[in-house]
Structure 1
Amino acid sequence: MGRAVDAWLTHLDVERGLSHHTLAAYRRDLARWSAYLAAEGVERPEDVRETHVSEFLARLREGDADHPPLAATSAGRTLVAVRGLHRFLALEGVLDADPARRVSPPTPPSRLPKAIGVDEVERLLTAASVGDTPASLRDRALLEVLYGTGARISEAVGVDVDDVLGEEGVVRLRGKGGKERIVPLGSYAAEALSAWLVRGRPTFAGKGRGTPALFLNTRGGRLSRQSAWTVLRACAERAHLGGHLSPHTLRHSFATHLLEGGADVRVVQELLGHASVTTTQVYTLVTVQRLREVYADSHPRAR
């Protein structure tokens, strides 16, 4: 096993030019793999079986006297080294078959989307309303649209003036793959957009070349995603909202607050533009988690 590991690492170094840090990490992972095999009485690569690989992965997740349990992502990285080694040996003809080929890395736990509370959203939107300048009118309208429609940041900055159907109280959004959807605006977003269109946008538009974009920068061009991020960060700082707040946070908050208010998950799926309801169902986990927190804090027999 030691010669096989050296041969593969030399191949990665000479033929593929991997970094010293990557090679060192692979060597550490394979030293643990070799030690496990030695404890199982396996000394030659030809004697490794798929069950050895599966059992080794389980040991990584469970830990032992000398090693703490590894998270799914860390165990997966170690398995990458094991699979790479045996794939190399199979391609070189050392092995008749690759014993690690069918062993899949562990699935990392789904990360729940981060959402902020309704009161925090209100603080953020209030912070965007400071002053009556064209920039402040635009910033308030932008954030109201992000939260009021659940739009992705790319969708919001991609909206044109003609996409705002004021009489119907909706806005046309263009999602991934150019797929369009119609989303209600809500009274607050509609009011903020009206103020921006009447009192703010003409000032910026006069400095540009007649772009149809709804949200403009100070030079009259379409507002970029980076500039929209800057707007959000500035408003979050004024609202004293700690932590990492992104435009996607408002999208998550939009979905979470709808579900907490009793909206059907299929409706939320359509509003978010998700192709599959499975993607939307992760937000139901957020609301269940919130229910647990409230229960734990409120029920006398929960503590």
Structure 2
Amino acid sequence: MADSKRNSEYILAPVRLEPLAEDKKIVRAQSSEDIAKVLDALSPSYWRAPAVLLIETGLRHGEAQFLRKRDVELDEKVVRIQGIVKNQESVRVVPLTKAAMDAIEPIVRRTKHKDDYLFPEMAKNRWGFSQAWSRACKKAVPMRVHDLRHSFAVRLLRGGADIATTRDVLGHASIETTDRYAREAASHETHERVRKALEGVAPS
């Protein structure tokens, strides 16, 4: 009976999402090649789907950890992040790329109940995914889980999204937080232009 009660509490426990107060000030966007290397080294295999979701949506680790079937709308190809921001209920809608859909659609379809967690291993073990990611990084390329969020933000901005759109997708409370990623994206573009210019000029 005690085990049954604990399981019930686990399934029904409410989730409170705090507003983003970025304590990781340094933007550490990683290349797609390096991220792919870590993804290939990630094990067990059930960690791959949440990893792809983080890579393709910029969700926070805690947001992906407690996603339920009801939060994903396959027809609209979006995931809805529900939480409390500044003591008010908040819903953030994040589009799903084809890669994200390919990773989670089979899981959504085989998950029976709308209140079930999509990634039960992740929901039950707070540090399980982070530990698996760390092990994969030791085999491949060093990076933090949170770097996936940074990488997504820079990728989004480099792809042409404006700062306001990027802020909404990431769920930043302040535009100043998003602006850090915009500066990183602009810096990358400047470096690329300089490289191209130098490659066309022979050294004197």
- So what's the TM-score if we normalise by structure 2? 0.73
Q: Distance in 1 between matches of 2:71 and 2:58?
A: 16
1:226 aligned residue (124, 127, 152): 127
* Residue 173 in structure 1 maps to residue 89 in structure 2: no
Q: Distance in 1 between matches of 2:100 and 2:124?
A: 18
Match of 1:89 in 2: none
- CA shift for structure 1 position 211: 7.0
Native 8 Å contact 1:164 1:172 kept in 2: yes
2:156 aligned residue (258, 274, 295): 258
Native 8 Å contact 1:124 1:236 kept in 2: yes
Q: Distance in 1 between matches of 2:125 and 2:60?
A: 13
**Amino acid across the alignment from 1:122:** A
* Residue 213 in structure 1 maps to residue 117 in structure 2: yes
* Residue 159 in structure 1 maps to residue 73 in structure 2: no
The number of residue pairs the alignment matches comes to 175
Match of 2:30 in 1: 116
Q: Deviations over 1:53-85 (max 9, x none)?
A: xxxxxxxxxxxxxxxxxxxxxxxxxxxxxxxxx
2:176 aligned residue (249, 254, 278): 278
Kindly, what percent of the aligned residue pairs are identical? Answer: 29
Q: Deviations over 1:181-216 (max 9, x none)?
A: 1111111111111234467x78xx9xxxx9721111
Q: Distance in 1 between matches of 2:190 and 2:126?
A: 36
Q: Deviations over 1:36-68 (max 9, x none)?
A: xxxxxxxxxxxxxxxxxxxxxxxxxxxxxxxxx
Q: Distance in 2 between matches of 1:175 and 1:288?
A: 32
- So what's the TM-score if we normalise by structure 1? 0.51
Stretches of structure 2 that go unaligned for 5 or more consecutive residues are 1-23
Match of 1:142 in 2: 50
Native 8 Å contact 1:155 1:175 kept in 2: no
Q: Distance in 2 between matches of 1:227 and 1:174?
A: 23
Q: Distance in 2 between matches of 1:121 and 1:235?
A: 10
More strand by share: 2
CA RMSD in angstroms, aligned pairs only:
2.9
SS at match of 1:123: helix
Any residues of structure 2 matched to 1:1-303 within 5 Å, and which?
A: 111-128=25-42, 135-136=44-45, 138-175=46-83, 177=85, 179-197=90-108, 212-217=116-121, 222-238=123-139, 240-242=140-142, 245-300=143-198
Which one is further off, 277-286 or 188-197?
A: 188-197
Stretches of structure 1 that go unaligned for 5 or more consecutive residues are 1-109
